Amino acid sequence: MKPAVPEPSPPPEHETSPTTGSKAVPGSRNGNVRLTPLPLALSDAPVSLPARKNGSMNQPSAQAPVQHPQPSVGSIAAHRPHTVAANVSDLEPDIDADLDAYEDLVQDGIMLPQGRFLDRERSWLAFNERVLELAEDPSTPLLERANFLAIFASNLDEFFMVRVAGLKRRIATGVATKSASGLQPREVLEMIWARSRELMARHAACYQEDVAPALAEEGIHLVRWSELTEKEQARLFTLFRHQIFPVLTPLAVDPAHPFPYISGLSLNLAVVVRNPVSGHRHFARVKVPPLLSRFLEASPNRYVPIEDVIAAHLEELFPGMEVLEHHTFRLTRNEDLEVEEDDAENLLQALEKELMRRRFGPPVRLEVEESIDRYVLDLLVRELKISEAEVYPLPGPLDLTGLFGIGALDRPELKYPKFIAGTHRDLAEVESASAPDIFAALRERDVLLHHPYDSFSTSVQAFLEQAAADPDVLAIKQTLYRTSGDSPIVDALIDAAESGKQVLVLVEIKARFDEQANIKWARKLEESGCHVVYGLVGLKTHCKLSLVVRQEGETLRRYSHVGTGNYHPKTARLYEDLGLLTADPQVGADLSDLFNRLSGYSRRETYRRLLVAPKSLRDGLIARINKEVQHHVAGRPAYVRIKCNSMVDEAIIDALYRASQAGVPVDVWVRGICAVRPGVTGLSENIRVRSVLGRFLEHSRVFAFGNGGEPEVWIGSADMMHRNLDRRIEALGR
């Protein structure tokens, strides 16, 4: 069936300075972006500060812990200005199911205080609250507000599927330990339940009381079945009979019919019918087909949820029965993957098997309409084996991720102004009547790209397409973590292989929720003659690297790309990322060594202009942070500036705390999760933390150091998380 509401493209990969004040930056490339300060959280765990003596930190005193009664991160009470995020369904919230216990740090006889880390789950929920605030902000274009409601819902779905599911699994198996914030696992889980309930209620209220009425004022009416005219109902009955009814399957529950399997994130109707002959009541479940449009057009600019249309015609599904009641519900399951790579003879087959098992993960959340009958709710709770604490009654409609379809309506006056990226000036300068000669440009100078402002298609994509077509190019080596469904990057690599070039592609088939797509690309690349590898056992390859080897006269020259974002043309139009195109021989040699390590057998762990996880990246950054302390003590220029998506690695944070204690100014921009407590006297008064959310998703990772007056800047793929620094291949380039 042709959707009544245009569906958006499949979502790409899926957040504040001193602790007071904020600064608006008018005219920035993101529009009017606000830098939002992160206040201290309201005692995730108290901060116990050691006594100070002669300006130094000693062992903790017996004094009562110092508590900071300030608004929790991301709360409205913090009076933060509303900010703007990306209009994609998944803001890549960096959800990870790691253990995060951490010991107190003692170095040179000085102990950093307990409670110095914010709780990461609370911080993630605060991030998603900031997304919700964008939907609540009347200055945000109206259809973008609808998108932000969908983004919030999509983010929370993934949070429960991965993070909450992982926490429950660790509690159940007894391996969970106290988190770095000082909270016990059960305390964290109960906090998540309570905070999520508050945010979901706000989310529903924003839709019901604010966004839906505002859309109606603009002529876009989201209505329920009872609000339709007879003519509209008749039109939808015809639609139901011809395009919906044939794909519906009612499933009865009785001694002969066990309770049906409920798939994760599916929308369902719980139906109670009565047999008019026997008088017996029966329960049945009807699944709302996920491939049909979420909102159906009843008449021009009037849309009704598909479950309302199905509910109004249940008699068609249960002829001869009396329909007593029906209620909508939605289940979230554990959908994280566990692949035992050491035991997997073939990683591709092992992952495909685990993807099948993902569908049957245990439930972690049950959303129900608040009007649900107690008998029906008790039956669902019992049969799904879910606790009352995991039940979320909400006003309908459930599953507001369907608002992406509304946000895709052709009403440009209700959206952000159209944005068109341009060709980077250093590439445009060498344009001829045909396409730019990327290699000629790189022989002249390095090119630092800033997406989406610099076009991806005329830079990185053109770089690979030119390499594929150039007869002097001998080899291309490429990492692929996520890419689009009709990827021109994959097409270029296939063209290169079919023309006889040596093409190595490292496909990360364990990229979360893109596993199936990456398996397909891996097989397609193999069939074309590319050498496809899957990285190192036990490590996910997340680095964004491309290497082209070209014959130029009697020598070989390497051309390289080191990026912060995926080789994904669609997200490159929505995500803020950096990329370095260079012909620097040291960078090229480093990439050659790293690709050889990933495709063969190599123990190389040091590089010329790369920091590579899991061996050298964390230690390399900490060494540079500590070096800034030395520069500061010697009176030379010193600072630390870090921009990333998540900051939770305790060793990195402790290095920042020590730098702050020494007087080094530290600025951190973190879109999402941040465990740093800024502005604590004696610990972090020189640390400022900001969260930047703009029209485009801030995705670049940048690490800058004053270095005594000779600034050093690194860019790359790594966030400051355990998973990135310990269990992934990540690369930062200088």
Q: Return the active site residues.
A: 542
Query: Which residues of 352-446 form beta strands (DSSP E)?
Result: 363-369, 391-394
* Residues contacting 279, CB < 8 A, separation 6+: none
- Residues 5 and 409: beta-carbon distance below 8 Å: yes
Do the Cβ atoms of 507 and 518 come closer than 8 Å? yes
Backbone angles phi, psi at 663, to 5 degrees: 100, 5
Q: Using N-to-C axis directions, what is the helix angle for 165-173 and 185-206, rounded to 10°?
A: 160
- List phi, psi (to 5°) of 106: -120, 125
The string of DSSP codes covering 650-700 is: HHHHHHHHHHHHTT--EEEEESS-B-B-TT-TTTTTTEEEEEE--SSEE--
Q: How far apart are CA 480 and CA 298, in angstroms?
A: 43
**What is the rounded CA–CA span in Å between residue 259 and residue 382?**
11
Residue 386: DSSP 8-state: -
Q: Which of 108, 109, 39, 95 is nearest to 72 (CA)?
A: 39
Shortest CA distance to 546 belongs to which of 582, 512, 597, 577? 582
Identify which of 411, 407, 335, 480 has the alpha carbon closest to the alpha carbon of residue 5.
407
Q: Which two tokens stand for residue 246?
A: 């044939």
3-state secondary structure of 552: strand
Nearest one of 640, 639, 608, 645 to 733, comparing CA atoms? 608
CB 506, CB 533: distance < 8 Å: yes
Q: How far apart are CA 593 and CA 556, in angstroms?
A: 16
CB 450, CB 457: distance < 8 Å:
no
Residue 73, CB-side half-sphere exposure with 13 Å CA sphere: 33
Which candidate, 546, 549, 189, places its Cα nearest to that of 387? 189
Q: Which amino acid is at 412?
A: P
Amino acid at 53: K
Residue identified by tokens 């933390």 is 689
Pinpoint the alpha helices (H) of 272-370: 306-311, 314-317, 347-358
Q: How far is CA 179 from CA 114, 115, 185, 192, in A?
A: 12, 10, 7, 14
Distance CA 664, CA 552 (A): 47
Distance (Å, whole) CA 500 – CA 495: 9
Span between the terminal Cα atoms of the chain, in Å: 51
Q: Are strands 250-253 and 610-613 parallel, antiparallel or unpaired?
A: unpaired
Q: Which two tokens stand for residue 60?
A: 């903790």
Among 155, 107, 110, 106, residue whose Cα is nearest residue 130: 155
Contacts of 172 (CB under 8 A, 6+ apart): none
Q: What angle do CA 65, 67, 68 make, to 5 degrees?
A: 155
Distance CA 49, CA 59 (A): 9
Residue type, 37: P
- Label the pairing between strands 697-698 and 687-692: unpaired
Nearest 5°: CA angle at 652, between 648 and 656? Answer: 110
Q: 712 forms bridges with which residues in the sheet?
A: 705
**Distance in angstroms (rounded) separating the CA atoms of residues 616 and 586:** 17
